[in-house]
Structure 1
Amino acid sequence: MRKAIVRVADLRQQVYDNLKERITRGEFPMDHKFQEISLAEELGVSRTPVREALALLVRDRILVQAVRGFRFPEFGPEEIVEITEIRLRLEPYAVRLAVEVLSAEKRTALAGLIRGEIARHGEADTWVAAHRRVRAALFAPVRNKRLIEAIAHYEDTIHFMRVNTLQDARWRGLSVGGSAKLADAIEAGDAGAAEAAQATLLGLARDSFLAWSAENA
């Protein structure tokens, strides 16, 4: 009689998901060093799934390997501009698709969600997390999964831009204002205006990080 294989949880994936969520939430400072031993002890697992999860984060360009451990990648102004150019080809189009596919009722609900996040978090550091929730809701209606995967890839790569800039009241205010205009366009069902609003937000993200980089050079 054949013995059934007992399937166990994929620890590598669990560790990967845990670290990625915490990284994109801004839990770790930019100079943080990720090490197998300390992470394994913290998460209560062996070093193998931690090592494999860190390798996946390197693959996704969220981390890079250092002399001892792993760290965040360092992007120069040219790389930020290039990544933004790619995002400008992807995200505004995705927003247009979302507006075109949603019913009037669902557009109103999405606009209300954005305005609610602005009202609760628009003047605080918590706007960083609120901004992520807005983006998740914004792209959720898009049926082109490959497009969404491409957007997620570049968003993960430059997550630190959001963490470093949206905590600054100057840039947070511009982000909140741009998001409010986006909400208006969505509710009105104006796909072109929503597309343009998203492009403006991406331009602000690029400019804010370039300014932050210059100030912290």
Structure 2
Amino acid sequence: MPSTPHPTDAHALILDAIDRGTYGPGDRLVESELADRFSMSRTPIREALQRLETQSLLTRDGRSLVVASLDHDQMAELYAVRTELEALAASLAAKHAAPEEVRVLRAMVEEDRALLDDAQALSRANRRFHAQIHRASHNRYLVQQLGMVHRSMALMATTSLAVPGRGENALEEHARIVDAIAAGDGAAAADALRAHLSTAFEVRLREEAERLG
């Protein structure tokens, strides 16, 4: 689960607001409004917005900065990278996770079943679950790279977990990933993670096709 941003870190505060869905793709970010929201001067806000634009999390719309959105190709590229990095994390977790970490993962799966009627809460829980796998890999460089990938995931306007039936299926997929990690089977854990994200990507593609008609 992401740590709470330091109250004086404008970049982290804005990033956290995007990650939590306070600001979604296409939303305009205004210096003065952000300064009021976070009770800080406009200078660190301005510097944070410039940094977020450099990181391609914000884009220009005339003179305004708005939260970026992902087109079809960007989404496909993101899933390709995410899938391989997450599969590596699962494989490493199978080798290095402590028994306590495995128990936490298993408990997350069971506790998340109570959230099946709340897609947004389930989406947040899903991020916590994946972040726990990242940490269980015990590879700080991989965790950093996956952090960047998951920040970009926030640029998708909807969660695939909102599709009827997807939440329950996703939790079953999570359970299979945990079983493989608990068994110390790195190859099976990686395969289960790849299958999980392949299904999630397919759900998003179906959503996109229906939206575009």
| Structure 1 partner of 2:3 | none
- Distance in 1, Cα, partners of 2:108 & 2:7: 35
- Distance in 2, Cα, partners of 1:162 & 1:186: 31
Question: Is residue 124 of structure 1 aligned with residue 118 of structure 2?
Answer: yes
Contact 2:24 2:67 in 1 (8 A): no
- Distance in 2, Cα, partners of 1:74 & 1:108: 35
Contact 2:18 2:24 in 1 (8 A): no
Contact 1:111 1:184 in 2 (8 A): no
TM-score (norm 2): 0.85
- Distance in 2, Cα, partners of 1:30 & 1:156: 12
Deviation at 1:193, TM superposition (A): 1.6
- Distance in 1, Cα, partners of 2:33 & 2:21: 19
The partner residue of 1:24 within 19, 22, 32 is 19
TM-score (norm 1): 0.83
Contact 2:160 2:204 in 1 (8 A): yes
Per-residue Cα deviation, 1:152-211 (whole angstroms, up to 9, x for no partner): 111111224384322333432332221122122222322222111111122123222222
Tell me the SS of whatever aligns to 2:28: coil
Question: Is residue 45 of structure 1 aligned with residue 44 of structure 2?
Answer: no
Give the % identical residues. 23
- Distance in 2, Cα, partners of 1:18 & 1:107: 28
Q: Which amino acid aligns with 2:68?
A: P
The partner residue of 2:132 within 131, 137, 140 is 137
| Structure 2 partner of 1:3 | none
Aligned pairs for 1:83-162 within 5 A: 83-103=78-98, 105-106=99-100, 108-125=102-119, 126-161=121-156
Tell me the SS of whatever aligns to 1:161: coil
Cα 1:148–1:108 change in 2 (3 A) is closer
| Structure 1 partner of 2:64 | 69
Cα 1:111–1:154 change in 2 (3 A) is closer
| Structure 1 partner of 2:199 | 204
The partner residue of 2:181 within 183, 186, 191 is 186
Question: Is residue 54 of structure 1 aligned with residue 49 of structure 2?
Answer: yes
Residue-pair matches, total: 206
Cα 1:39–1:171 change in 2 (3 A) is same
Structure 1 runs of 4+ aligned residues shifted over 6 Å read none
Contact 1:36 1:47 in 2 (8 A): yes
Deviation at 1:107, TM superposition (A): 5.2
Aligned CA RMSD, in angstroms, stands at 2.2
- Distance in 1, Cα, partners of 2:156 & 2:174: 17
Contact 2:90 2:186 in 1 (8 A): yes
Deviates more, 1:180-189 or 1:31-40: 180-189
Contiguous gaps of at least 5 residues in structure 1: 1-8
Per-residue Cα deviation, 1:68-102 (whole angstroms, up to 9, x for no partner): 33222232222211222112221101111011012
